[in-house]
């Protein structure tokens, strides 16, 4: 008999096993150790008491793990991962997990539910549509095949240096450089959460022109994910973005990876493609009002 309940911290070892099994045939290769999954949960603001597991006896055979935070000024749940182990699929478990957790979310004054789903995962897309989720954006995921440094042709002298303390982050200035709003996992709040764990190794770089900060970038070393990168609009087209990518690549061994680039931001996609990134997959961002 399959039972459903909210998760507890002590469920983590079973949840880790279930995560690996559920994503063993995922469109994007999924490889992470237990500490890596813990780090991802922290960055995404995961709350076990707002997450649900499907249990067959003592084992987790399905899960929906949710982060909680603010999104566009509203208290929001974010689906940090939903999966069912292969041998337990096609039993309606995903739908039953959502039916279980949605009243708990809305009963705790959470006003919307956010998630991302790979566009090719037709069963999941259909499930979310049937639950009332609406597509808000389409995302592209890019990755380099190898660690490469591209030639820089800079006509102006710049300085790139690390920003090591969160107190030194000028978020208002950073966000004024944005072309588009980042996804939940790449958001400012997610980066801030990462500072609470010294094991989450990241490099944060500022690009300065005549002492003025005109660009910045953040990369997480364990994944190679460039969480944020932006250059002030009036300074684009000068090679500053490439210089930032080169500086990031020199600091980590694995090829850089970029998740959830807004597909409508054509110039942003063209920038990554011109710097050695190729399209890995595409995702929908979907939102349900509660």
Please tell me whether residue 2 adopts helix, strand or coil conformation. Answer: strand
**Residue 31 confidence (pLDDT):** 62
- Spans in the chain with pLDDT lower than 50: none
**Residue 264 confidence (pLDDT):** 95
- Calpha distance 140→162 (Å, rounded): 28
In the chain, which residues fall in CATH 3.40.630.30?
2-110, 143-284
- Calpha distance 111→34 (Å, rounded): 31
- Calpha distance 201→43 (Å, rounded): 12
**Residue 179 confidence (pLDDT):** 93
37 touches 223 (CB < 8 A): no
Q: Identify the CATH homologous superfamily for domain 2-110.
A: Gcn5-related N-acetyltransferase (GNAT) (3.40.630.30)
**Residue 50 confidence (pLDDT):** 98
- Calpha distance 140→85 (Å, rounded): 26
Architecture of domain 143-284 in this structure: 3-Layer(aba) Sandwich (3.40)
One DSSP character per residue, 70-89 reads EETTEEEEEEEEEEE-GGG-
Q: How many other C-beta atoms can be found within 10 angstroms of the C-beta atom of residue 31? A: 7
């Amino acid at each position: 008999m399959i039972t459903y309940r909210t998760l507890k911290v002590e469920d983590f070892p079973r949840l880790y096993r279930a995560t690996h099994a559920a994503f063993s045939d995922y469109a994007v290769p999924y490889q992470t150790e237990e500490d890596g999954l813990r780090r991802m949960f922290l960055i995404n603001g995961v709350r076990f008491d707002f997450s649900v597991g499907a249990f067959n006896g003592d084992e987790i055979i399905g899960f929906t793990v949710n982060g909680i935070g603010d999104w566009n000024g509203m208290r929001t749940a974010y689906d940090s991962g939903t999966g069912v182990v292969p041998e337990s699929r096609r039993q309606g478990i995903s739908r039953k997990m959502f039916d279980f957790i949605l009243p708990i979310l809305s009963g705790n004054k959470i006003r919307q539910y956010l998630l991302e789903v790979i566009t090719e995962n037709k069963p999941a897309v259909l499930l979310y549509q049937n639950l009332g989720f609406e597509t808000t954006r389409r995302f592209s995921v890019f990755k380099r095949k190898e660690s490469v440094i591209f030639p820089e042709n800079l006509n102006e002298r710049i300085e790139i240096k690390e920003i090591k303390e969160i107190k030194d982050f000028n978020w208002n200035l950073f966000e004024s450089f944005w072309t588009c709003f980042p996804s939940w996992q790449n958001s400012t709040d997610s980066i801030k959460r990462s500072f609470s764990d010294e094991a989450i190794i990241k490099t944060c770089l500022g690009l300065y022109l005549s002492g003025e900060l005109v660009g910045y970038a953040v990369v997480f070393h364990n994944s190679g994910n460039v969480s944020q990168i932006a250059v002030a609009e009036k300074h684009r087209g000068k090679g500053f973005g490439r210089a930032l990518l080169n500086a990031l690549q020199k600091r980590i061994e694995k090829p850089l990876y970029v998740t959830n680039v807004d597909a409508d931001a054509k110039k942003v996609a063209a920038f990554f493609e011109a710097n050695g990134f190729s399209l890995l997959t595409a995702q929908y961002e979907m939102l349900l009002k509660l």
